[in-house]
Structure 1
Amino acid sequence: MDKVADIGRDIGAYIRQQRSHAKISLRQLSKLAGVSNPYLSQIERGVRKPSAEILQQIAKGLRISAEALYVQAGILDLPVGGPVTDAIRADTALSERQKQVLLDVYESFRRENQVASTSEPEPEPESKPEE
């Protein structure tokens, strides 16, 4: 039971931190997320543990990935990565939104390169004899 209470406090503190980084008041986030002000306050103080749906609404209001909140809340495991993704996630100078954008760009480049390396080389165009 104590573990559940710890998770509630952890996610609440994390949401408060993200709201602070975004320079959004509790009332503003409440409106953006469509969650009542008192309920959001209880989440931030660790009194209430939000559902996945509420976390998704809060993530939308903060403009961060819902996955980041799910990981923090213990709903999802931390995604596996490598040195680059670990470094991005560990960088405290970046907001969650900035981290997610960097990770999305990085992964899109990796997928693009993987597709390019596994596809067969295109045949060279035939050249017409010069007249």
Structure 2
Amino acid sequence: MSSHASNRARVIPLRPVPATPGPAPAKEPLWRDVVGDVLRRERLTQERTLKDVAEAARISVPYLSEIERGRKEASSEVLAAAARSLGLGLADVLSLAGTELARQRRTAPVGGPMGGVLLAA
């Protein structure tokens, strides 16, 4: 080892650093937020109350409210019960959530969470 060798470690960034500073990338939405939005939108479209849907799903009103607001990560059993109470299947809710994610992705600013990569819809 020469006397001129540096004692500093070489750092290799995991993500490439942008050459020019730009706007911060948009955050990926949380799944629980998207699913909650879908459930709330469906409930309001049907002009039903939290109480009505919660009773039909056999879950508490506060818990359904927390799910709709994205505060709770509901189990598949609870999501299926909420979906059934709205006349939907679990697959319907998941499909609607996937469609919403794709829509958000298409409207995300360039250089967003995927670094400008577009996903096929």
* TM-score bracket for the superposition, by shorter chain length: 0.5 to 0.7
Structure 1: 5+ residue runs without aligned partners?
79-131
Q: Is the contact between residue 12 and residue 45 of structure 1 (CA under 8 Å) also seen in structure 2?
A: yes
Which is helix-richer, 1 or 2?
1
- Residue 62 of structure 2 is matched in structure 1 by 38
Match of 1:28 in 2: 52
Aligned partner of 2:76: which letter? A
Contact 1:52 1:70 in 2 (8 A): no
Name the % identity.
29
Number of residue pairs matched by the alignment: 73
Residues 1:50 and 2:78 are matched in the alignment:
no
Distance 1:20 1:44, change over 3 A: same
Structure 2: unaligned runs, 5 residues or longer = 1-26, 100-121
Please give the alpha-carbon distance, in whole angstroms, between the structure 2 residues aligned to 1:73 and 1:55: 12
Alignment of 1:1-131 (within 5 A): 6-72=30-96
Point out which structure has higher relative CO (alpha carbons under 8 A, 6+ apart). 2
Determine the C-alpha separation between the residues in 2 that align with 1:39 and 1:73. Answer: 20
Following TM superposition, by how much is the alpha carbon of 1:59 offset from its aligned partner in structure 2, in angstroms? 1.1
TM-score of the two chains, using structure 1 as the length reference: 0.50
